[in-house]
Amino acid sequence: MIARAPGRIRAGWRAFRGWRRHRPFGAGMFLLPASVVIGLPPYASFRLGDLVLSLRTLGGVSALLIGALLLICAVSLWFRPQYRVAAGVTALLVSLAALVTSNLGGFLVGTVLGLIGGALALAWAPPATGERDRDREDGPGSAQTRAAGITILLVLALAVGSAVASSAGTTAAPAGRVWVLTASVLQLTGLRYHGVSTTRVGGVPVEVLRFTASRIDITSLVQTSELVDGHLGRITAPPGSVSTATGHPVELLTLRLKGTLSVLGLIGLPVDFTPDRPPPLVLPSLTFTDVTVVNTELNHARLTIPAAKITIT
């Protein structure tokens, strides 16, 4: 039993390292003490011999609020790393606000720790996509994933009227045709907004929103598009499954993006972006829920849909 203990410790340490590697762990380690240093002093007492010093200032409520926000940001970075950009920006702003509202930001120490933690959160990036893809390909579902990719290629080939071809997963939506994507969760990583562009749909020029992203994660994907002969093609993933689109980068031309923008996983903001109502600000990572996206093109993408179901009506 004793001999097995070191092995269990090593296995536990490896599991912890793997968990830590996929989130901005160091940023949370800075924000956690920052929340204590800023939030605690207005409510603390110090004893010097027979003399008791208590700090009672008007900044007590502000300090408590800022400390709580920094604590929430730290926990979010550890357990919801997909919201790291929003958490990092929030940490930077409240750390600076603490300078004027809470004992000079916890006597400067709390502000410095908060700024370092927020900067680390914004600078952190998930492991390379290639490593994730290799890990998935080594798993038992790799054959099913490849089969789904080949099937998707066949349907998309029909949509553009080209010859049917089987390949190993590199797909793109048919150019110049409108297709609709619905999902329970849509997460965009490495996102950039390039403004309003012009493309052609059915030979007619239309304005679209142009985005690029390094990775797109789609939960409970349902994709529909009109085929050349008037039929309707539909690709459905199992409920709760996560489909991915990766590229260097993925280019997405969008007519409309409608859904609920998730802020730190706590607040939902309804949005409806179109070329007439473009997004005012786009962060490098965004998550939407109950989303509907009307697209015209998806370029430079490797689309993987587990256990996809294809129907043509």
The answer to whether the predicted template modeling score (pTM) of the entire model surpasses 0.75 is no
Structural domain for 31, as ranges? 4-123
Residue 173 to residue 258: CA distance in whole angstroms: 19
pLDDT, one tens digit per residue, over 218-248 is 999 998 887 766 778 888 999 999 999 888 7
Q: Does one domain contain both 198 and 297?
A: yes
Q: Does one domain contain both 250 and 202?
A: yes
Q: Does one domain contain both 171 and 245?
A: yes
Q: Domain tally for the chain?
A: 2
Q: Does one domain contain both 217 and 158?
A: yes
Give, in order, the Cα–Cα distances in Å from 264 to each of 64, 69, 119, 120, 123: 20, 11, 17, 17, 17
Q: Does one domain contain both 18 and 43?
A: yes
User: Is residue 170 predicted with pLDDT exceeding 90?
Assistant: no
| Among 123, 153, 176, residue at a domain's last position | 123
pLDDT, one tens digit per residue, over 36-67 is 988 877 766 656 666 655 555 555 678 888 88
Q: Does one domain contain both 161 and 67?
A: no
| Among 123, 157, 191, residue at a domain's last position | 123
| Among 103, 123, 143, residue at a domain's last position | 123
Q: Does one domain contain both 149 and 255?
A: yes
Q: Does one domain contain both 89 and 136?
A: no
Q: Does one domain contain both 145 and 99?
A: no
Instruction: With H, G, I as helix, E, B as strand and everything else as coil, classify residue 106.
Output: helix
55 neighbors 161 (Cβ within 8 angstroms): no
pLDDT, one tens digit per residue, over 69-125 is 999 999 999 988 888 888 999 999 999 988 888 777 778 898 999 999 999 998 888
Q: Does one domain contain both 158 and 101?
A: no
Q: Does one domain contain both 141 and 119?
A: no
Q: Does one domain contain both 282 and 170?
A: yes
